[in-house]
A and B are shown apart, each in its own frame.
Chain A
């Protein structure tokens, strides 16, 4: 386990008329090299939860352990933790600020106090990972296209070489091309760099496409936490808490309801095609 939470609770605006419990009694463990899809609708507490994992928010009660150490211990270096648990916020392109893309990506590594040589090496690497062409590095970040800005901002966190990379809705507002590009990038990044990735999303399709495990939050509590296959086989329960399961999952649920024997863990087009093909071809032969 690289990250662990213990009875985590977080209450907003405590003791005012606006008091609201955002995270309720969360106990989760995140393993090394996990790819976790964190799903839940707005207000489910998912964004609040991830801001605890790098120590930006201090829990009202409960503990968080990174590599076995309590991150809110008095002598724990929270600033150093933020380089190890990289957090990309929603619409991260709105945090770009420096003159050039290169300098902006270098902001994190520079704060780490690395040598210039190391910094430029990391910037180059991060830009490569997110698929930014080298000639874009000398441009102003504000001259990039929407999708490029988003990727530049993600590179700014990747350049810190975090052990855990958390992304809050990295595909929000992007068109299918931009969305696929980011998801595929994350998949490759995780494989090649052997890191842990947590993808916060309200799109079950996104999670189905890339994650191995799914953590479902509802009303601040953990609703389900298991492999993607197991979680998605509970389609009806997920729909009940207001999540949209992929259309493929819906199609398969309806087929089952009609008495067709198909497995419950189908949630991608590739798998669906395979299963149906087998079913139809086999039956065709008989």
Chain B
């Protein structure tokens, strides 16, 4: 097993406006394998976004360690290398775009890395094509829709060629079209580049798409498994204020009503099982 990110006994807390100390993470352990697609699920305030910031050296643990390919995030000299390896996409598409023109924003990261101009141009074009925004390369960023802005932000990270991209609730502020486009981009990235992807979200239908789902509540991991297994724990998820995908919940309710059905995740699976059941009768 090849570990990319490793959190060991991490504690993290911060002070709120009234100087109360809020413990966000306590003795937190997590390993993320290279090349995996992990989603981290939790409601607002479960500590999931803090995790993203810890991985990217925006926060330093109070105790315990976080390493990225063996590099300790608390060591100042490692910061540049770690950020070079892990790209971070934030929730608000507006506040992560630096330049007024699409391609200039995508070039921002590679420019900071000191990549030669000719190569920057190649990387920018390629990244924009990957996210499907190449035709917009000379457009003004503030005139784009939320989903387009978010894809430009993703291109900006792709152009830095990191090993891993962390998405911190990338679709929370988007409309359904924007959400679908961003998720499509993430899936495409996953398929074509084999990069490690960490998707932090509270949307079940997005979390389902990962290979592994980690569910967090009050700074602790309460479930960590493949999506089918995690989402079969309907009661547990509901108890921490999370939903399950509607097809899963529908079958779960019917199971409780005494109908013998397996756990499902998607619409198609649900329809298939229901059809089987109907045919049986």
Contact = CB atoms under 8 A, between A and B. Distances in A.
Nearest to B171: A173
Interface residues of A, number: 41
24 contacts: A42-B175, A143-B16, A143-B18, A146-B44, A147-B44, A173-B173, A175-B44, A203-B176, A243-B176, A247-B246, A248-B250, A251-B250, A254-B267, A258-B275, A260-B274, A260-B275, A269-B246, A273-B250, A276-B250, A277-B254, A277-B257, A280-B259, A280-B278, A284-B281
A284 B261 CA distance: 14
Interface string B245-263: 1110110011001010000
B250 A175 contact: no
A41 to B, nearest CB: 5
B207 to A, nearest CB: 12
Interface string B207-243: 0000000000000000000000000000000000111
B271 A283 contact: no
B202 A258 contact: no
A247 B176 contact: no
Contacts of B135: none
A272 B246 CA distance: 11
The 7 closest A-B pairs by CB, nearest first: A283-B281, A247-B246, A177-B241, A175-B43, A254-B271, A176-B243, A175-B202
Nearest to B256: A273
Contacts of A202: 175-176
A283 to B, nearest CB: 4
Interface of A: 41-43, 140, 142-143, 145-147, 172-178, 202-203, 242-244, 246-248, 250-251, 254-255, 258, 260, 269, 272-273, 276-277, 279-281, 283-284, 286
Contacts of B250: 248, 251, 269, 272-273, 276
A170 to B, nearest CB: 14
Given A41-B177, A146-B44, A273 B275 contact: no
A263 B187 CA distance: 35
B241 A41 contact: no
B259 A43 contact: no
B17 interface: yes
A178 B250 CA distance: 22
